Structure 1
């Protein structure tokens, strides 16, 4: 998985999508998503809230 795909997966997870759904839509293996930490997801969620993209 390249860096752009990784960032998009983190963003999708931050928006609350399930890992199964992200795998299917982004066409990435579950093993690749398992490398994404909860800390990365929380940081992205906080950023999206700060920027006004999430309530």
Structure 2
């Protein structure tokens, strides 16, 4: 976890379910972070921003 995301989680206590959609190869995937972060497409490696983010609770 990046220092920025760690600080965001410690300050806000939020956790996000992120959905990504690659504009180059149409691959969709999900990940969970404490803040919205770009991720690399698992198929073609393109850097993608989240298409959607939903706050979730963690234990």
TM-score (norm 1): 0.31
Give 1 or 2 for the bigger CA radius of gyration.
2
TM-score (norm 2): 0.30
